[in-house]
Chain A
Amino acid sequence: MSADEILRIKGLKKYFKTTRGIVKAVDDVSFSVMKNETFGLVGESGSGKSTVGHVIMGIYGPTAGSITFMGEDISMGVDRRPKELKKRLQIVFQDPASSLNPRRTIGQILELPLRVHHLVADADYAGKVLEIMDLIELPREFAVRYPGEQGGGEKQAVAIGRALATGPSFIVLDEPTSALDVSIQAKIINMLMRFQKDFKLSYLFITHNLSLMRNVAQRVAIMYLGKIVETADTPEFFSNPLHPYTKMLLSAVPVITREEEALKPEKIVSTGEIAGALSVPPGCSFHPRCPFAMDRCSKVVPVLTEYKRAHHVACHLYPSAFTESDSRREDSRAGSPTRSH
């Protein structure tokens, strides 16, 4: 693990047992997040992107694979994690209406993490809460109000304030602005970017919004049915997308300016739908929707390989010597898209 890495995930798997079979929500995912970096995880609903975030937080333990955070192994469930660790890892959920307790005032919500972790002396709780409220730009009188009375933007600011209260170094942002209008989204994102700089935070930014990702993330990974299919630095990713699924996603993004239109790859018309997690197609799971699908796509699972420098893709259109020999094995493993420094 290099000194710049804050989080490394290797061969992460999360399977869920259901009455109708095993759901492979996350199937062999590897990546690492650098210090002070925003790593973007993009995918459609059902791609497993949120599950990755939840496993990192320890909401449930992984089925296989390892998670290393600042050099320590943290691949255990939340009940076995030391309290000290929980302080340094935080999460902001998509819907603040359901992630904030409606029966607690905003002040009480912000105070709880301080109490749990004994961060300030008992007498100083109120002062610290007001400090956090100034930080998230909420008027101080909101401390005695309930989240239900507030707008979506204010509620999400409270959720962010709660995550910041413990002084974390890594925050999972699970679609933090999907439930908000664009004008509010812009404000929340600006706030997050400012906190990242001020408090030296690393973000795992989970979203389905590619336009947003372009503007916030340094590196982007695309997930499809539990696997990462492409990952690269943001400028490279958007100027030179390789995977047909990435191209399909990009050409489906609604845009409003001519510069954006020019950035779209040759139109790959979107067809079909993401398969159910119970019936993942064999071989490359994207092949039923892929306009370039070949014979082998339905038989051999493509491996994530470094096609260009720091640009990994899992697709038979971009073969390399490594892929050829390796993919014949049944248990093809994804390479680690670690950025080479």
Chain B
Amino acid sequence: MAEQLLDVKDLHVNFKVYEGLLRVLNGVYLSVGAKEKVGIIGESGCGKTTTMKTIMRILAANAIVASGTIAYKGIDVLNLGRQEQMRLHRTSMSMIFQDPTAALNPVFKIGEQLEDIVRYSEFTSKAPSKQEVRTKAVELLKNAALPEPERILDSYPFQLSGGMRQRVCIAMSLASAKDLLIADEPGTSLDVTIEDQIMRLLKQIVEERGLSVILISHSIGAVKGFVTKLYVMYAGTMVEEAPTEELFSNPVHPYTQNLLKAVPKLSGGGVPEGIAGRIPSYLTITDGCRFASRCRSAKERCHTDAPPAFDIGNGHRVACFLYGDT
């Protein structure tokens, strides 16, 4: 096992809303080794982004981290002061968001936004000169395979295409991501050929720099070619964890099996069947397996007890009573 970089254990996150308490994350665990590429797949609303935001400490004000620990390089992230937390963001971890249009400020030039990040990324007492900052910004854009970096620095976000904007966001994250890069659906809002370009660029950068990556996506195919370990999330819980090859050749959780079956195949074979029902409301969610109401193999106890993660060998863990009994 590689050296541990990030270790999330038994994370519970709730959101206070007008109607009551949304119990979203329920015992989420996640571990990322140094230089390891990890993926999380799951449908929208299953808590992938919430987990990442908890790690980044950028949750909305109505979120409550009820319990759990997040250890990053041995540091307890959840109990960091604001200063130390900012130091971490400036020097070690960074995140790329799904929609580059929303991630960039429309009223500032790319140069102003990128140079600000460069200026504060080192966290030293000595302020870098204007020229140094500019040179670094140009270099970052070049690394993100953007042509004519000087012109891009003088452009506003709306003057760039979606693919270019996402490359700018990648450049920004590279300024401060020295160890961990979190990519939240980096290609989803882009066309398939552009998504392909962005994913190849990310992979190349990550491998060159030896970064650890958490890649989030609901496009299962896009994740498959990228990561070595996969987590499957459903309704705020981790239902399955396995090395990528193992997960695709031997999916065991009923949700994972159905999810993989629901993807239309390029090789044809007809329209796949979906999964009946929908993610339960976080407001009224009960104890027990959160997938039970949509699961064909559900037994009585599935509705009352939450299954823990059972280890079934080959680094494969699954939270389902079909594969263990306690």
Contact = CB atoms under 8 A, between A and B. Distances in A.
A250 B43 CA distance: 24
Name the residue in A188, A190, A211, A235 with the highest tally of chain B Cβ atoms < 10 Å from its Cβ. Answer: A211
Nearest to A252: B196
Contacts of B258: 183
A219 B163 CA distance: 30
B81 interface: no
A253 B266 contact: yes
A48 B127 CA distance: 50
A274 interface: yes
Contact of B274 (A183, A235, A273): A183
The main secondary structure of chain A at its interface with chain B is helix
A44 B192 contact: yes
Interface string B12-47: 000000000000000000000000000000011000
Given A44-B192, A270-B193, A187 B265 contact: no
Contact of B270 (A182, A188, A215): A215
B200 to A, nearest CB: 8
Interface residues of B, number: 40
Nearest to B248: A256
B262 interface: yes
Interface stretch (B150-158, B206-214, B217-225): B217-225
B225 to A, nearest CB: 7
A216 interface: yes
B315 interface: no
Interface in A160-185: 181-185
Given A182-B259, A257-B265, A263-B266, A210 B192 contact: yes
B307 to A, nearest CB: 20
A252 B218 CA distance: 17
A256 B220 contact: yes
A301 interface: no
Given A183-B43, A183-B274, A211-B266, A256 B193 contact: no
Contact of A190 (B43, B195, B266, B271): B271
B268 A182 contact: no
B166 to A, nearest CB: 11
Interface string B191-204: 11111110010000
Given A186-B273, A215-B265, A273-B161, 12 more contacts: A45-B191, A182-B220, A183-B274, A187-B276, A209-B264, A211-B265, A252-B193, A256-B260, A256-B265, A257-B248, A259-B265, A269-B200
9 contacts: A183-B275, A189-B271, A211-B266, A212-B264, A214-B264, A255-B265, A256-B263, A264-B266, A271-B197
